[in-house]
Each structure stands twice: as structure tokens, then as C-alpha cells.
Amino acid sequence: MKTALTIAGSDSSGGAGIQADIKTMTVHGVYAMSAITALTAQNTMGVQKVMEVTPEFLSQQLESVFTDIYPDAIKIGMVSSSALIEVIAEKLTFYDAKNIVVDPVMVATSGSKLINDKAIEYLKNKLFAKATLLTPNIPEAEILSGRTIKTSEDMIAAARIMSEEYGTAVLCKGGHALNEANDLFYYNHQYKWFIGERIENSNTHGTGCTLSSAITSYLAQGKDLENAIWLAKNYLSGALRAMLNLGKGSGPLKHTWNLEGGYEE
Ligand SMILES: Nc1ncnc2c1ncn2[C@@H]1O[C@H](COP(=O)(O)OP(=O)(O)OP(=O)(O)O)[C@@H](O)[C@H]1O
Ligand SMILES: Cc1ncc(COP(=O)(O)O)c(N)n1
């Protein structure tokens, strides 16, 4: 069985973070493991409280996982402080980790900030160069590239800046654009659009986490990067199309849709 590790925050409401990642990896037939960076008390309406783990405890979780069940691929999500980022960067190097998807989570769908400013600099300087793929959404891509994104051309320019600066592939997600759900992939001085039909569903809590952990699952199974992105986007579209409607705010996706025989693309 292929194995994957998520290094991320726990979401008590189960729609994003560690819980979304484990559900997604599991329905892809991949053995999921976790190293938790923070506990969040959150629901579909917002993040009520965050409790970070200590760098020592994160370090121990990573050591416990890597020295026993080596992950074939790794997803990194919410990491809110520079000390935790340093620990992750050090362990990824020490254990020679491969197939690393970094989702630079900064703000939850509900608007709550999930990272501090110093940590953003550490992400850029210590973690991004180790990534196989970075998956910023549009607001994150604006912060990371220093460019305002209003058009498709702006998305290409921002992705180029990030890809060239960090020497990694970038998938700039277009879920925050108004009419489309097209994601822009940039690697090796070339770009490609991953076109998605926009689904009218206001329950989008955890779309970013789910997409990045689906990509990670496919990488663990040995798919190449572009194929992994196509397959993951198809999975995500099905999870939105299943129209689960839970909670009072922006609710979670139906992660199990692909086990139920419906919603074929
Ligand atoms: N309404 C939608 N219909 C179809 N696809 C969507 C929709 N909204 C988002 N997506 C897709 O979901 C994925 C995540 O994109 P998005 O830009 O929402 O990321 P994100 O902001 O990191 O997610 P999150 O809401 O978890 O923070 C992308 O592939 C995007 O195209
Ligand atoms: C622990 C954790 N990690 C990531 C997100 C971002 O996901 P979203 O933007 O969909 O709320 C979140 N809300 N909580």
C-alpha cells in the first residue's frame, strides 16, 4: 500500500486541514499519516481558537513517522509560525523526503488568518525550494509574488515569478476568480491551464486542502505531476458536485463521493 503524510492543522469541524487530508488520502486507497502543527477550534462559520504544538512536539511526530513508515508523498498545509517551519525544513532534508506538495495556507475561507508575517518569510526562504509543487490560491499568489491578480495574464505572471524564484512547479488555483474554476500550472518556463467548470455550490470549506491532498495521493501512487493534478481536480469537482450541505456557514465537501458510484465526469 502506498503511504502519504500530511503536515497540517487539525480542523475540529472535519472539513479542512488534517481531517480533509486523511479522508481524501483514504478514499484514494493511500495509507494516510499525520503530523499536526496546530489544533484549531473551528466550524463552517469561522476559526474560534488556535493552539499551536511546540516545535519539539512537531519534530517528534515527524521523527516517529519517518523512522517507521516512510511516506511516499507529503502534503504540507497550515504551518503558522517560523519555528515550526524550521523544524519541517530540517526533517524533510534529514529524511530525504520526496514528492512534497506545499499548500501555503494563509487565510481560511471564513476570513481568519492562519499564519503570521514572519512565518510567510520562512515559508519562502526555507520550505518552498523543497517543494515538488506549490498550490497557492489567488490571494496567496498575490502575497507571494508581490503582484495584484485581476486577469488570466496576471495569474500567469504571478506563477512565473513564484516558479522562477523558488525553482519549483506552481499551481495557482482559480477558485477565487468570479466566473471560472481554472487553475494555472507553471513549470520550467512553460504554463498550462487546467480548465474546470465552475459549480454553483457555496459549501467550499476545505477545497484547497482537498485538492492538495488528492494531488499528494496520486503522487504517492507514482503518477506524474500533471496527471496527478488532472485526476485531483476531477475528484474535487465531484466532491463539490455531490452538494453536501452541512453547517450554518460554508460547509464541507463530500469526500466519499467517489466510493458511491455516481457523479462521473
Ligand atoms: N465553485 C467551484 N467550482 C468548481 N471548482 C472550484 C470551485 N471553487 C473552487 N474550485 C476549485 O477548487 C480548487 C481549490 O481552489 P481555491 O481557489 O478555492 O483554493 P483555496 O482558496 O486554497 O481553497 P480554500 O477554500 O480551501 O481556502 C481549485 O481547483 C479550484 O479551481
Ligand atoms: C486547519 C486548517 N487548515 C487549512 C484551512 C484552510 O481551508 P479553508 O480555506 O477551506 O477553510 C483551514 N480552514 N483550517
Looking from the CA of residue 10, the nearest atom of ligand 2 is: 1
pLDDT for position 98: 97
In the reported structure, the alpha carbon of residue 82 is separated from the centroid of ligand 1 by a whole-number distance in angstroms of: 26
Give 143-153 pLDDT, tens digit per residue: 999 999 999 99
Domain tally, the chain: 1
Contact between residue 109 and residue 218 where contact means Cβ atoms under 8 Å apart? no
Contact between residue 162 and residue 129 where contact means Cβ atoms under 8 Å apart? no
Which range has the worst mean pLDDT, 73-82, 178-187, 201-210?
Answer: 178-187
Contact residues of ligand 1, CB 6 A cut-off = 16, 109, 137, 173-176, 181, 183, 196, 198-199, 201, 204, 206-209, 211, 233, 236-237, 240
pLDDT for position 116: 86
Query: How far, CA to CA in Å, does 16 sit from each of 22, 56, 69, 232?
Result: 10, 24, 24, 16
146 lies in which domain range? 3-241
pLDDT of 264 strictly over 60: no
Grid coordinates of 214? 488528492
Confirm whether 51 is domain-assigned. Answer: yes
Give 179-198 pLDDT, tens digit per residue: 789 999 999 999 999 999 99
Confirm whether 250 is domain-assigned. Answer: no
Neighbour count for residue 126 (Cβ, 10 Å) = 17
Tell me the average pLDDT of the chain.
95
pLDDT (mean) for 216-222: 98
Confirm whether 109 is domain-assigned. Answer: yes
What's the rounded Cα separation, in Å, for the pair 244 and 251? 8
pLDDT (mean) for 110-121: 86
Give 81-108 pLDDT, tens digit per residue: 999 999 999 999 999 999 999 999 998 7
pLDDT for position 100: 98
What's the rounded Cα separation, in Å, for the pair 111 and 46? 7
Pairing of strands 133-134, 100-102: parallel
Confirm whether 45 is domain-assigned. Answer: yes
Confirm whether 49 is domain-assigned. Answer: yes
Confirm whether 37 is domain-assigned. Answer: yes
Q: For atom 14 of ligand 1, which residue has the closest CA?
A: 208
pLDDT of 260 strictly over 90: no
Q: What is the CATH number of the domain that holds 227?
A: 3.40.1190.20
Confirm whether 76 is domain-assigned. Answer: yes
Contact between residue 109 and residue 116 where contact means Cβ atoms under 8 Å apart? no
Confirm whether 27 is domain-assigned. Answer: yes
Tell me the whole-structure pTM to 2 decimals: 0.96
Contact residues of ligand 2, CB 6 A cut-off = 8-9, 11, 16-17, 40, 77-78, 105, 108-109, 205-209
With CA atoms as reference, report the closest residue to 122 among 87, 147, 168, 98: 87
Contact between residue 10 and residue 79 where contact means Cβ atoms under 8 Å apart? no
Give 136-177 pLDDT, tens digit per residue: 999 999 999 999 999 999 999 999 999 999 999 999 999 877
